[in-house]
A = this chain, B = another copy of it.
Amino acid sequence: MAKPKKTPRPKAETPKGFRDYFGAEVTQRTEMLRAIAGVYHHYGFEALESSAVETVEALGKFLPDVDRPNEGVFAWQEFDENDKGDWMALRYDLTAPLARVYAQHRNDLPTPYRRFAMGPVWRNEKPGPGRYRQFYQCDADTVGTASMAADAEICAMLSDTLETVGIPRGDYLVRVNNRKVLNGVLEVMGLGDDQAARDNVLRTIDKFDKVGEQGVRELLTKGRLDASGAYIDGVGLSEDQAAPVLAFLTSKAADAAGTIANLRAAIGTSEMGAKGVAELEQIGELLAAGGYGSDRIEIDPSVVRGLGYYTGPVFEAELTFEILDDKGRKRQFGSVSGGGRYDDLVKRFTGQEVPATGVSIGVDRLLAALREKGRISAQPKGPVVVTVMDRDRMADYQAMVSELRNAGIRAEVYLGNPKNFGNQLKYADKRNSPVAVIEGGDEKANGIVQIKDLILGAQIAQSATLEEWKERPSQFEVPRDQLVAKVREILDGQG
């Protein structure tokens, strides 16, 4: 007789590229999202939570022309007896769903429609170190207006948001540029219609941050030797042709008026370019009227990141303080947010062009920045732990915990097997508890409790016996009715 087949135990693992978030990681992100939502709401933006699942048709670009369209997205087919069920997929960003929502509900939504959205998105990509297939996005967009006031508002809101979550003025800068100015520059270079040459120039501009003015000049013309000694072919422009791009990239002056003047020179006679410069000027005026100076928001033509995706103004928020990288070298923390204007949001659905502008904040990077600066704790304090010396008096310990909680103090009773007191101390240690409360039979008889400051005692908690532990000067004996007052005093002293 064959042996009965045993089902092997399932592996307790997340799927590849996914992870779990514990304790403070979750709580701090939730608090940050709440703070950001508060600012957005204050600016008149309304929350939107679209479903995590969209039809592949509505998401676009991932059409089910293969059996399983899982290029880039996680997708599956709705069950249908004739195998004709809709293909569905997890959203890969919050903008594609916004397009679908606006097209679907446009008759019920106000126009313009200011909305914010925050939540996980999913990418079917090869996972790598620090690269997950589920992560948070946090977006705000204004749909249905071409007014530069919408773009200026997004920049002001971004500035307020950064200060609200704990990045002080001076530690960040919102930088604004305009895609139309660059298009104007390409026009005066005589590349208005030459898509291949334009693409080459755009790719080169993207390297400005890395290789600087001289590097871009060489790459636009004859080419250059890179750091490894390899020769990189140039785009083949003449020095004269390359000049407007370089003038554009280096047009930042001491003040906005100077920058605007430099940009006007760079775009020469291009109408498109002039429009872009006028838009930047308008944004500058609106921000000045709102009291946002160049210490918070500035026009900076060297912002090239994302220029390719947008049709008008583009924004980027950078944290300007220095951190040490993996190799101990100083570098700026860098970008935590980006956005800009795009005009084809709902055209796929309705055929109409609807102008829109928006911004996305990298919440996880912002959290990392705050931890880096010590503004939020990587391992916050745990609850006060009431230990259990006598399992038959659980009700006594329960009463203590209730008193502490009612006084606003985070507290819990030890719920494991109380036999081994060392385990209770290890537990309190693992919980990062600031205070432990002890009431054995003697204490009970004498109407007192022992209260232990664990921040001082943490190092010896792993190995100490109860007796050693009681001898530490960080332990206090108080009458039972002073339990709450003494715990509060210790917590206050710990700061």
Contacts and interface: CB of A to CB of B under 8 A. Distances in A.
B55 A27 contact: no
Contacts of A93: none
Given A15-B78, A57-B11, A289 B42 contact: no
A430 B286 contact: no
B44 A412 contact: yes
A53 interface: yes
A25 B149 CA distance: 28
Given A22-B46, A68-B76, A51 B147 contact: no
Interface string A338-378: 00000000101111000000000000000000000000000
Interface stretch (A96-104, A199-207, A269-277): A96-104
Interface stretch (A170-178, A209-217, A256-264, A391-399): A391-399
Interface string A1-36: 000000001111111101111111111001000100
Contacts of A153: 398, 412-413, 415
A30 B30 CA distance: 10
A423 to B, nearest CB: 9
Nearest to A429: B110
Interface in A389-417: 394-396, 398-399, 401-402, 405-406, 410-413, 415-416
Given A399-B290, A413-B149, A349 B12 contact: yes
A350 B9 contact: yes
Contacts of A450: none
A439 to B, nearest CB: 13
A144 interface: yes
A464 interface: no
A395 B288 contact: yes
Given A145-B415, A289-B398, A415-B147, A18 B49 contact: no
Interface string A312-351: 0000000000000000000000000000000000101111
A120 B50 CA distance: 12
Interface centre among A77, A79, A124, A395 (most CB of B within 10 A): A395
Contacts of A57: 10-11
Given A147-B415, A405-B42, A58 B431 contact: no
A41 interface: yes
Interface in A279-297: 285-286, 288-291
A12 B430 CA distance: 50
- Closest 7 pairs (CB-CB, A-B): A44-B412, A12-B103, A289-B395, A26-B47, A18-B51, A44-B383, A76-B76
25 contacts: A9-B350, A10-B57, A10-B348, A10-B349, A11-B57, A12-B346, A12-B349, A14-B54, A15-B86, A18-B51, A20-B49, A20-B104, A20-B105, A21-B47, A21-B50, A23-B48, A43-B405, A43-B410, A52-B122, A68-B76, A110-B427, A149-B415, A160-B405, A290-B401, A291-B406
